[in-house]
Every structure is written in structure tokens, then in C-alpha cells.
Structure 1
Amino acid sequence: MPAALLVLFYLGLTCAPLVMAAVQGHAPRPLRDELASGVALAGLAIILVEFVLSGRFRVISGRIGMDVTMRLHQLLARAATVMILLHPYLYAGPQSLRAGLTPPGSAPLNFDWLGLWPGIVAWLLLGALMVMALGRNGVFRHEHWRAMHGIMALIVAGFGVLHATRAGRYSADPALAMLWWGLFAVAAFSLLWVYVIKPAMKARRPWRVSAVSRLADRTWELCLSPVGHKGLRYRPGHFAWISVGKLAVSLDENPFSIASAPADGPDLRFVIKELGDFTSRLGEIKPGTPSYVDAPFGSLTLDRHRDAAGVALIAGGVGIAPMLSHLRQLDADADPRPRLLLYANRTVDQIVCGAELDARAKGGPLQVTHVLSEPPEGWTGETGFVTAEVIQRHFAQDALRTWVFVLCGPPPMLHAVEKALMSLGVAPKNILLEQFSYD
């Protein structure tokens, strides 16, 4: 499904409650009351649809990118939270405290306790959920936070739907009530898919660690081999969620870009840097350790850029992983297009697969340029960071106009390089980037 259709489908779902409310024919109330109902309807719809923007549905993240998917998830969740938390304070019209005498379709605001208490619970839990989301770093492990966040959000959504259908003027309509419960069922299925169905599917296609080797300073290559199946269908630029030495149903998953190429065979290779938790124990992992893979994900692929005149790869640190996948597959396909790799690191001993890169650059269409921020004495290559000036020295104006530029690295680098490329006239559609940090 094209990205434009996904956007239209999302807008249709989130606006449907407003449209269904507008055609019910109720007598108009004061503007603030209608605004209060409107923001509540829109906010609840966004929260329910948010469950499919979790990043684990390839039909979405594969079209617009994992980073875009998660950024939208964050921004829309914050907007919906503000709407929901604000809407009780917007009401200004007639109100009744007499339970049972103000049915949902009447003009006065219904304070019947049967409909009011689910809204109070949802309102309080939603506020707590947002506070926890904003302050989660350093408090929760990402895997545990992800599960807790999803379960709490589903509870909030359930109480929100119960409140809307019991106390809402418009949601008491059978058709709109059916839509609310239908969206809630989709939300519940989304969590079931991620935490039950997908793990069950992974258990039927196990992997094992076939090798662990040191590539550079605090950087390792992890190789996984399929057990009893043919492996994974993927494209260069994809990434995978992997769990090593855990059960198939486990919260301990980590996303890593795939460094191997489909042409290399069924084994998957990952370039991983020691950053704590699982990654700090890479050197202790033994061959034969059972593993599970949920993949492929991501949009850092060249599928929609087959007509590009050349391929520019700009990597920072372990962002070299998807670039290795691209280079290995391009060579396997004997792709004649010129390609240039700008590879940024802090020091020489952080360069990954330097010998392989040099070998691929000899006599082929690849040119490799290293950029070091802390170069050794006598270094004659690029120094500092990948700036607009560095890019201009290595790319002709025609290349900036006709090549595709693939970026992967730390978020500050990605943003700086993207800005530099656009300042040099590179079209945004010719810039591919994806990041795993969304703060």
C-alpha cells in the first residue's frame, strides 16, 4: 500500500467519529460544549489507531520508515493526550448532577456516575501514562517499558470507550458505538499480535548463533544460522529484532541492521557495538546459542531508486552495517553504478571491515573515504565530521542531483548530514535515513 494511501486511511479512521457525530442531527449546543465533544472524539480515535503505529507492522513501517512511524506515534499520542485531558474543562453549557435524568443524547452534560467513572479512570491513567513516557529513560528498560506501555494504553482505551458509549452525547448512537468497540478490538489484536502471535510464529522458525567475532574496538559481528528452515527473505537495508539465548516469547529483543546480503546465503550477520545490557555480553555468547528473529523491517532499501545514477552511502560508527549489506549485494549483482562510501568514526580502531572495504574499492565502482574526528599522527584523510564542505569535495554537482544518498549513524550525525545534503541541493526524495532513537 503506498504511503499516501496509508495517510488517507489513517485520516479516515480518526475523522470517522467526527463525521458520524455531525450527521446525527442533534440540536446544536454552545460552541464550547461542541468543541469539548469534538476534541474528545478525535482524541479517543487517535489513541485507538495509535496501536497500529507501534512500529511492528511492516505494511506501515516498511512504507514510511521505522523512524517516521515512531515519531508520528509519539507526536500523535501527545496531541491526543492533550485533547483528552483538556476536554472536561471545555464544557460550559447546562449540566445536571441528577443521575439517570440526563440521557446521553440530551442537551445537558450527563453526570450519571455509571458513565462518569470510566472517564475519570481513563483520564487519570492517561495522565500517568504520559508522565511515565516522558520520564522513562534511566528508569525502565526499553523492552519492559514497551510491554507496560502497551498494556496501560489498552486499559486507558478500554475505559475511554466505555465512558464514551455510556456518557457521550454522540457515542450513544449504535453505529458510532459499534465503531468504537471495533477500533478497540483492533487495538487489542495489535497487542496480541506483537506479544503472542508473532512470538508463536518465531518459535516455529528458530535460529542459532554460528559465530561471534570481534571486528573493531568494542564492536562485534554476530552471525545467526537458520535451524530447520531456509532462512529469511529480506533486502539490503532491512533490520531485524533479535533475541539471543531467550525464549521465543520474551521481552528481551533488540533491533539491529542486517549487515549480510541476500546473496551471501541464509546466514544473517549483524554489526553490534557494546552499549550495555545484551550488547555488553556479546563476547560471552557461545556458538549454538538458540536465537529468534523477527524481520524484515525498515525502509532503507534501494527498491524505489533503481533509476538513480549512483549510490552514496554515508555511515557513522556501526551505521556501517546496512551499508555493508548494500555493498555486498551491489557487487553480487554486478551493478555497474558508481558508489561512494563516506565512513565516519572517532578513531582508526573503530573502523569496521576496513580490509573488506579496501578490497571492494580496488578496481571496482566503489570509492571509500574515511572521516576521523580524532585522527592519528600522519593521517592524510578527511578529519572532523561529515559536513557540507566534506560532501562537496567528494560529490560533483551532477551526483548531488542524480544519486541516491543512504544515511545511517547516530541521530545527531543523521540530522546534520541530512541538512547539509539539502543545503547542497539534494532532493529530499533522494535521501534515505532511518534511526533507532526517537527521543
Structure 2
Amino acid sequence: MELLTKTLFLCLALALANGGPLQVLFSPCSDASLPDRCEGIEFDAITPDEKGNTFFFKGSHLWKGFHGAAQLANESFKELDDLHHIGHVDAAFRMHNVENPDDHDHIYFFLDDKVFSYYNHSLEDGYPKEIQEDFPGVPSHLDAAVECPKGECMTDSVLFFKGHDVHVYDITTRTVKTKTWTHLPVCTAALRWLEHYYCFHGHNFTRFHPVSGEVSGPYPKDARAYFMHCPNAGHGGHYEVPKCSEAKLSAITSGDAGKSYLFAGPIYMRLDTRQDGLHAFPIIRAWKEVTNGVDAAFAYNDNMYLIKDDHIYIYKTAVHYTLIDGYPKTLKEELGIEGHVDAAFVCPNQHTVYVIQGRTMSDVDLSATPRVVNDRPVPLPMSDIDATMCNAEGIYLFKGSQYYHYETPMILGMSRMAPQSLPVTNAILGCQD
């Protein structure tokens, strides 16, 4: 509030000096003083909240989301100014700790040597605290912070940046390991967005691997072209979500870990994180060896299986996606399958992959060694299936912008007439209704 009060008094003084009391009613000072991120800003901190809204902080202001004007930060998080009287946030992140609901999805702000914890924009009791009290071993006066869930990092962790040092905080053990990434720019803000990690510096950003710090691709890039809507700035990262009536999939899969992916041509989208916005990425960004799209995909035993032509690629999912040694292999060698595959699916907590080719469906026991395809495929009541997915609600077979629903693979295999097809909806694919 101290900064806001000073600003208002300054505006009042300028208005009185330039036109007397009447000028106060029309003074543009408050609007003119708002920072414009399209001019090029080095952000102090970036974090999503528990609802998926992304906040960009600069000084006493913030932006909510990828478009819109700046607002005073103390309108959303008033205690940051009331209790600490500091001009900016050093670092911020959204906690990922599903094993502890008292922490999960809470936002942590770091200011000098203090930490603030918010949920639903309300400061938690007992805060602010000393940083060391909540995060032992983590230094004060940080530059940036970002959460890193298990599966993307080795354990549920937080990356704290100070200069070129990265302090990796293990949430469970409350221990810190420090790395030095001199190849990465000094980050003034960091963001995890749709399973990717971004270091913001100046008005640019650099994408990095959260375990190694490795930078792949042509970076840095201008943040104004990707993380905000700015005039005359080509937005290379935006993806126009298609209309549901125009949906056309190549593959779709949902794994036991809850991750759901949609593949369409050369791109993929993560569906289960839609609270952070739907966004398309090239398939080769996550699965760099798959250069020409996929025909089918399924998840099994913490691995992702991608089928293209007569080859199958198997990726470990423990730390991002790493191709298992010896792959790709032929479908014949891995599954005993020959010919083009239209779609494939594995149901939750099951060991059988069902493979659709034309009007037939075969099955392979993935727990068997060697894997052998059932030599008696069952006929299907429809053809030209684009993609299939099995989850707790049943089996979805997608054909263009329509889909068929079955409760179990057995019911699907025994059906001799296709049920009424249903239109694809936003609830299923995140498309525009």
C-alpha cells in the first residue's frame, strides 16, 4: 500500500500543478503509469495459481494471463505490500505436492529473506516466514523459482535460481542439491508450462531441461511473440484450437499416471493440463526420433509406445521421454503385428494392447515374453478408425469428428452393429464446440 499511496500523491501533485483541482478529475496519470509488457519487460516472477491463471510480475504490477493490461499487484495479493513494503517479488512458484493437500497448488512468493504462501489469493496463517523455516538450505534474495513434479524431475522438487546456481529442493526430504548452469542465462523468472520449462531473461526466454539444464533449439526467443498478445509480434507459440466439427486425430492415449495426449499430424497436445491452456507442440519436441507423425499411441507400465508405419518406438516416461535402447523396432519383432496400424489402446491397469487394422481388432499380452499377437482377430462393425482411447469411462473410437463409445473391449469385440456415433465435444478433446 505504501507504493500505491506514493503514486497517488504524485499523480495528485502533477494534476494540481498542471491545471488545478478540476484537472484532477481528468488526470491520465494512473493509466500512463501502467507498464506495457509489449514494450519489452524483464519480469521479476511468473507463476500460475491453483486455477491455472498465469501471473506475470514486474515491480508493483502484474498481468493476469497472456493478454490484458497491467494491474497493481496488491489488488490480488495485498499482503505482499502491506506487510513487507518492497517494490517487487523476487521469485514465485505453484507448489506441486499431491501427497500433501495442505501444500498442493498453493502459491509461494519470495521477497528478500521472506516467503509468503497463498491459496485462493488468501495469505495462509503464520505467513510470512523466513525462507529457511519453510525451505531449509535455500538462499534468500532469489532470482527465480519453478516447481518440477516427479516424472519430470527425479522427485517432486522446486528449482530455485540465484545467478548461475540452481538449488534443487527435494520436497519430501527437505534437502537441497546445488548445480551450476553457466550455459543458461541468469533467469529473472521461470515458468513450468505444459510440461516445458522456461527461463525468462530480459524480454526473452530460453527453454531448458529441468534435470540437466540442457538447451535445445534456437534460443533465446522473444517472449512477446509467445507468451503475450502484442501488436506486430508474430505469435509462433499460439495454436488455434480447431472446431469440434473439424476434429481429425492421428492418435490419442491416456496413461495410468493420468497424462493424456492428442496427436494430429505433426503436432501433439497435452489434454489433462488444459487448466493451463491448450497448446500444440511439434511431436519431435518431446519424442525427437519420431519425425513424421504417428499412426497410433498407447501407454503401458510407465512407458509410451508410438507406432509409425511398420516401426514402434518405446519411451521411458520417468524423466521426460527417453527412447529405450534398441528402439525403434519393427512391429513384427515387438508385437507380432504386420501391416498398417490404424489405432491401438490399453485400458487402465490392464496388460493387453488392442490393435485395430481396418475392420479387425487383434490383441497382444504385453506381460508375456515373447509377445505374440492373437492369431484370431475379431471383426469390427466399422472401419477407418483414426484413433482410440480407453479410460475409466470406457473405450472411445474416433472417426473424424465423430466417435463411438463402448464400455469394455469384450463388448466391442462382440458387437456386430455399430452404435450411433456421437459428435466430438469440448469435454473430450478440448476443441471449440
TM-score band w.r.t. shorter chain: under 0.3
Greater strand proportion: 2
The TM-score normalised by the length of structure 2 is 0.24
Larger RCO (CA under 8 A, 6+ residues apart): 1
Please report the TM-score for the alignment, with normalisation by the length of structure 1. 0.23
